[in-house]
Amino acid sequence: MKILVLGGTAEARALAGALAGRGTFDVIMSLAGRTLKPRAQGVPTRVGGFGGADGLAAYLRDEKIDALIDATHPYAETISANAARASSETGVPLLALRRPPWQEKPGDHWIAAASVAAAVEALGKAPRRVFLALGRKEIESFAAAPQHTYLVRSVDPVDPPLAVPHAIYLTVRGPFSEADDRALLDRHRIDVIVAKNSGGEASYGKIAAARALHLPVVILERPELPEVPSVETAEDVLVWLDHAVTAAATRGV
Ligand SMILES: NC(=O)c1ccc[n+]([C@@H]2O[C@H](COP(=O)([O-])OP(=O)(O)OC[C@H]3O[C@@H](n4cnc5c(N)ncnc54)[C@H](OP(=O)(O)O)[C@@H]3O)[C@@H](O)[C@H]2O)c1
């Protein structure tokens, strides 16, 4: 079976490793190309957009893909919508690997924001020291609130920098532990965090650190994703693929 994994997440990388380990799947990883030097994925990798849902559908046909796994980030809504459309257009079965969202726990102080603009608003008028745990696309909007001091952590340098007078940049690749993030928040005297509800382990450190330090977290709500069959773990993807193989064998494909 030839499988296309839409990736860009730690889970997609782990899944690719698990699939390749089976020896029976021919796996191609697809990355958007957002980071200059992506981590090695352990399987053949293609980089860059497909050209919308139609481009993805054409790729599925041209490359004779048997199954499509959407293991992209839960906030990557365009590619997930494209995957759903391309799957129904071509009949190539689609499974989404989706991390369940984090749940607010006792001691957390979360402020829900329905959009990036709402997150900017939630910071208020008085100057604060803000840890922006967001991607390049989202942080631009914070130029609308230049009274705050921003700490921005990213894999690649933020270029152009945020159009505000006070911003600190850290170029570093995760994952980060709770202890790392607690030290970071302390060192920069952060008083509020803005984050996505990414789910999973790799970026939970800051949420746990905020709880320990009694800091508020402005949480960007998750986007609506297409309703497609989905699972939460790489093991469940393997089970789904095993069923797909059996079904194909029964049909004599
Ligand atoms: N959004 C986040 O917060 C976040 C966080 C961590 C990692 N990521 C990863 O970064 C990538 C881009 O995220 P995004 O929010 O920019 O996505 P997006 O808004 O849903 O996608 C924008 C466009 O980027 C291309 N694209 C996205 N993911 C792709 C993939 N895996 N392979 C090939 N093309 C892809 C597609 O271009 P075409 O229409 O031309 O095909 C898509 O229309 C995703 O792979 C995602 O898993 C995202």
Residue (of 105, 104, 108, 80) closest to 94 by Cα position = 80
Q: Given a cut of 90, is residue 43 above it in pLDDT? A: yes
**CB of 216 closer than 6 angstroms to any ligand 1 atom:** no
**CB of 180 closer than 6 angstroms to any ligand 1 atom:** no
pLDDT band at 193 (very low <50, low <70, confident <90, very high): very high
Sign of CA pseudo-dihedral 143, 145, 151, 153: negative
pLDDT of residue 126: 98
- Centre of ligand 1 to C-alpha 38, Å, is 14
Mean pLDDT to the nearest integer, 198-221: 96
Mean pLDDT to the nearest integer, 65-70: 97
pLDDT of residue 31: 98
pLDDT of residue 163: 93
Mean pLDDT to the nearest integer, 5-31: 94
Nearest-atom number in ligand 1 for the CA of 134 is: 3
Average pLDDT, the chain: 95
- Centre of ligand 1 to C-alpha 7, Å, is 8
pLDDT of residue 214: 98
- Centre of ligand 1 to C-alpha 82, Å, is 10
Q: List the residue whose alpha carbon is closest to atom 45 of ligand 1.
A: 8
pLDDT tens, residue by residue, 131-151: 999 998 899 999 999 999 999
> Count of alpha carbons within 13 Å of 160, Cβ hemisphere only?
5
pLDDT of residue 253: 61
Q: List the residue whose alpha carbon is closest to atom 29 of ligand 1.
A: 32
pLDDT of residue 246: 76
Reported pTM: 0.94
Alpha-carbon distance of 168 to 190, in angstroms, equals 12
